[in-house]
Amino acid sequence: MSEVPTPGLATCCWMQFGGANGELAAAMQYSIQGLNCDDPDRKDMLMDIGTEELSHLEIVGTLARMHLKPIKKSRDSAEADPLIAIACEGGVGLFNSMGDAWTADYLKITGELDVDLRSNIAAEAQAKIVYEHLINLSDDPGTKDALQFLMTREITHMKAFTGALESLGKDPFSIGNIPPTPGLVDEYFNDSTGLGDEGETDARGPWNTGGKWKIVESPELEQGVEGRSGETIVKNHKPVSEETGKTRVKKSA
């Protein structure tokens, strides 16, 4: 380790200790999904990876603690960083870099395996990016090595979750059992202004053109949810029509 430990880096490491996409969040998200999972094979995978993330929590905590140790409980350091000096007394706590206590509100657990796997893929991508930032912030070779190890494992997990999702053999846009309404599902609502100098040019891309895509101009403005509600969606359902009919946004002339 370089001769000068870096309390600031330790604080940043907390992002992966007690942060929204940190190791405890990952460990709990996958393990609890595993507890709720009726598919024994994928349950085994969720437990494998959840267990591995717990071991990462210990590594990250050890790294942070190592960089925190040189902090003296002096007035200077306390004023500079009460999070470390006073709240945690030079130790590690289950906080993120801003001192917010970890909360289970960070977790994405639904009980639908394919939905959960998508959340996990996204979570691993989030964690991978944070480790990349931490590597860039570090100049100690040993710390960089440890962070590279942890960052690599996130990609491993992305691959595993992706393999598990694909092995379910579901259409990527088939979620749950009730199919979406045909036609409506392919309408792209152009609700914001364009991007040109005058604001009149809207962007086009694979997200609203090609295939079955059909661009619908600002339905809230030109016909309102009202017209749509009244005639199509909540037909024969006057109370809804009466109330949702008044969108907040002014109809154009």
Which residues between 76 and 95 bind a copy of itself (CB under 8 A)? Answer: 78-80, 82-83, 85-95
Under the criterion CB under 8 A, does residue 70 sit at the interface with a copy of itself?
A: no
Q: Taking the chain, what is the end-to-end CA distance rounded to the nearest angstrom?
A: 69
H or E, element range at 119: helix 113-137
5 phi, psi to nearest 5 deg? -65, 160
Tell me if 54 sits within 8 A of 23, measured CB to CB: yes
Tell me the closest approach of the beta carbon of residue 159 to a copy of itself, in angstroms: 6
Among 19, 22, 23, 71, binds a copy of itself (CB under 8 A): 19
User: Binder to a copy of itself among 15, 22, 23, 26 (CB under 8 A)?
Assistant: 15
- State the minimum distance, in angstroms, from the CB of residue 53 to a copy of itself: 10
| Closest distance to a copy of itself from the beta carbon of 26 (Å) | 13
Minimum separation from the CB atom of position 142 to a copy of itself (A): 2
Given 22, 23, 66, 71, the residue binding a copy of itself (CB under 8 A):
66
Regarding 231 and contact with a copy of itself (CB under 8 A), the answer is no
Using CA atoms, how far residue 109 sits from 17, 32, 171, in Å, is 20, 8, 21
Rule CB under 8 A: is residue 142 a binding residue for a copy of itself? yes
User: C-beta of 37: minimal distance to a copy of itself in Å?
Assistant: 9
- Cβ atoms of 119 and 113 within 8 Å: the answer is no
Residue 251 binds a copy of itself, judged by CB under 8 A: yes
Site track 31-60 with a copy of itself (rule: CB under 8 A), x = hit: xx--xx---xxxxxx-xxxxxx-xx--xx-
Residue 140 · residue 65 · CB < 8 Å? no
Of 23, 26, 28, 71, the residue at the interface with a copy of itself (CB under 8 A) is 28
List 3, 4, 18, 22, residue binding a copy of itself (CB under 8 A): 18
Contact status: 111 vs a copy of itself (CB under 8 A): yes
137 touches 16 (CB < 8 A) = no
- Residue 158 contacts residue 166 (beta carbons within 8 Å): no
| Phi and psi at residue 123, to the nearest 5° | -65, -40
The residues near 91 (Cβ < 8 Å, ≥ 6 apart) are 65, 68
Burial class (CB in 10 A: 0-12, 13-18, 19+), 77: middle
Segment (H or E) for 16: helix 7-18
Q: Does 4 bind a copy of itself (CB under 8 A)?
A: no
Please state the closest distance from residue 147 (CB atom) to a copy of itself, in A. 9
- Residue 68 and residue 7 in contact, taking contact as beta carbons nearer than 8 Å: yes
- List the interface residues with a copy of itself, window 156-215 (CB under 8 A): 156, 158-164, 166-167, 172-173, 175-178, 180-181, 184-195, 199-200, 202-208
Binding of a copy of itself by 22 (CB under 8 A): no
